[in-house]
Structure 1
């Protein structure tokens, strides 16, 4: 308990609490506001109309009526689509070929070109959906007219053209909001660097102050030193999520008490992980350089940016030793999908095993450190005894 109080005093005496609380809140507020628009509506599109027919004009009007498409300019002559996309004036180019209307009247196929600037895929996802919807509707109208002419009833036509209909529901993130992916990924990366950076320096600080040997006589006390950082980090998480929810419209279903246990387990496990990584550093300054050992694997393998299921098999196994991987399981399962804690017993067991493993590693490191110090003391005693005997004879 003495070590815990000492760590609280150290944290409150500096800027650590201020940084742990303020930086994530500022990041959450900025990113929540910047990325509040979850999709692009009225994406600017250029149309190259080589048919110059009444139907091509009607089709352009229907495309422009889609909420995802804005026909910004129409070109009457053949134009290189690349020239229209270079300067980002248009998100896509639609190419209407010669004979479009004639082929429609004759029941022949026409190849309509859609050239999409996919350098930023999220910017054009809704646009492609809008074009597909319009063309699908036009094909259905054409098919219905042909079948009607053959004497079929409206019911029979509907059965033939739409025999099976997929009725989909986009659950949990129907607007494809980046709040649940990019923004939360970045906020968690910032939190990881702050909590991990603070916990990295605990043991090197004690070593540089000459207190580590004495503190190791109470192993539990050293482990308890991570709790202040874990608790303040947990509070910072709640404040950050609240801001993103208010400013960015984040859909977060879990309540405060529901997420308290998962968040506290994550911040504690992360702090122990950081303590183990920074254990052998001689000074806090040397320990700070090891933060990349925490950040790079977590950013790449935890599911922050890329789904874990897309990783190669061995890397999926490695991801399970990263606290952030388990954090995202709780964050998405409970916070975004609204699951209750009782559905995550397996995940709770997994992160508790991980927490225990890191605590065990620290205890092993402590034992190794004690052995080294005892050997040093034995050597010093062996050297000092002959010196004392020599001085006595003289």
Structure 2
């Protein structure tokens, strides 16, 4: 009983992780917030691009039927030849349809007519509803054309079929999906554990006061570099294992990916310093990792398809740094995008990075002003005490 009383006293003392609060917060996040964010389990209004080289009334009719589906939203229609892969960059589409020249003519002359469809298979679950919807649309179109469901059109003789191809992860390998996602997630999580207690540690050793009085925010951010270097090395080593021992498809440039990750790691580290700033000690700071790391893993497209989420959930997910990591992972590693192909996304991330930097600088200079006021007050109290002693002597 003495041991139990001692441990209960420590639990509520504030010297370690506030587990009594963390346990309740985790339960509320999972049961309330995540149940709202993850309420969708089907693809709704998934973005679809169309390359229409037929320019016919039939192709326009098909585009209208696809756009009318609750599962798909036609966001782009191109009338010139284009590389389907480029239309997937920055998650602009999850499927690309290709209407070849002569599609309508083949349909009426008895020739086999094929509609090409390319699926983004970076997440194997995100296109299942789209595949079913496209097959249903083509099936109904054929049934109507041949009079199976009330149509009297006897001029249609050909059969229109879908010719599907899965891109980026055709074999549905976990090396390109869940395993790679866990590599980035756990790497970011332990990087945060290693850095989030930095400010409380410096405060306990009285180094923080000197940095606040004589330094700049960069004096704290630069301390992240050795931890970030270890994280980069661990990611490269992990991807090498998946590439050699597993079946990871690395389509892009490793240097491009590492260049982007440098910015992402610095941003994650800065957020780590920001959230751990007010903690009394490093142990308490560690529990705050849950505030900004797991959200990106849950909503970033690695555990569940982005097409399953509401648009506002997808936009909200960008407040988590790991969401950006998965964006660049899909574009550079899976789809083979170059830096020029993701400039728009990278520009948006730089705005996010700037907002994080502003928040951190405000935290730094607010703490500096508070410290200066505290030191000034102590100096005034010391001078006042000395004056009182001098008056007493006189």
State the secondary structure of the residue aligned to 1:282.
coil
Alignment pair present for 1:252 and 2:250: yes
| In 2: Cα distance, 1:299 partner to 1:328 partner | 8
2:371 matches 1:373 = yes
Cα distance in 1 for partners of 2:380, 2:273 equals 34
TM normalised by structure 2 equals 0.57
RMSD of equivalent CA atoms: 2.4
Distance 1:307 1:353 in 2: 25
Confirm or deny: 8 A CA contact 1:258 1:340 kept in the other structure: yes
CA contact (8 A) 1:265 1:351 kept: no
CA contact (8 A) 2:317 2:323 kept: yes
User: Per-residue displacement from partner, 1:199-246 (whole Å, max 9, x unpaired)?
Assistant: 212211111110112112221222222222222211211111111111
* Among candidates 302, 305, 313, match of residue 304 of structure 1: 302
Which residue, 155, 178, 184 being the options, matches 1:182? 178
Aligned-partner SS, 2:195: helix
Instruction: Report how far residue 170 of structure 1 moved.
Output: 0.9
1:228 aligned to which of 226, 229, 244: 226
Larger radius of gyration: 1
Question: Please, which of 291, 305, 311 is the counterpart of residue 289 of structure 2?
Answer: 291
Aligned partner of 2:202 in structure 1 is 206
**Which secondary structure state, in structure 1, belongs to the residue aligned with residue 166 of structure 2?**
coil
- Count of residue correspondences: 241
CA displacement 1:1-40 (0-9 Å, x = unmatched): xxxxxxxxxxxxxxxxxxxxxxxxxxxxxxxxxxxxxxxx
Give CA deviations for 1:330-367 in whole Å, capped at 9, x if unaligned.
11111011111210101211222222221211110011
Distance 2:373 2:271 in 1: 28
Q: Supply the distance in 2 between the matched residues of 1:390 and 1:172 (Cα, whole angstroms).
A: 79
Alignment-derived partner of residue 160 in structure 2:
164
Q: Distance in 2 between matches of 1:299 and 1:211?
A: 34
Q: What is the deviation of 1:311?
A: 2.0
Return the offset for 1:375.
2.1
Contact 1:323 1:351 in 2 (8 A): no
Aligned residue among 215, 218, 234 for 1:218? 215
Task: Give distance in 2, aligned partners of 1:195 and 1:384.
Answer: 43
Unaligned 5+ runs, structure 2: 1-123, 136-155
Alpha-carbon separation, structure 2, partners of 1:315 and 1:225 = 34
- 8 Å CA contact 2:192–2:272 kept in 1: the answer is yes
Residues 341-360 of structure 1: pairs in structure 2 closer than 5 A: 341-360=339-358
The structural deviation recorded for 1:296 is 2.8
**CA distance in structure 1 between the partners assigned to 2:297 and 2:331 by the alignment:** 19
**Normalising to structure 1: TM-score of the pair?**
0.57
Query: Counterpart in 1 of 2:192?
Result: 196
- Report SS of the residue matched to 2:275: helix
Q: How far apart, in 2, do the equivalents of 1:296 and 1:334 lie? A: 22
Once residues 296 and 259 of structure 1 are traced to their aligned partners in structure 2, the CA distance between those partners, rounded to angstroms, is 22
Partner of 1:241: 239
Cα distance between partner residues in 1 of 2:198 and 2:252: 33
Once the two structures are TM-superposed, the CA of residue 261 in structure 1 deviates from its matched residue by 0.8
Kept in 1, the 8 Å contact 2:296–2:320? The answer is: yes
CA distance, structure 1, for counterparts of residue 350 and residue 224 of structure 2: 16
- d(CA) in 1 for partners of 2:312 and 2:161? 40
CA contact (8 A) 1:266 1:327 kept: yes
| Structure 1 residue 191 displacement after superposition | 0.8
TM superposition outliers: structure 1 runs of 4+ over 6 Å: none
Partner of 1:281: 279
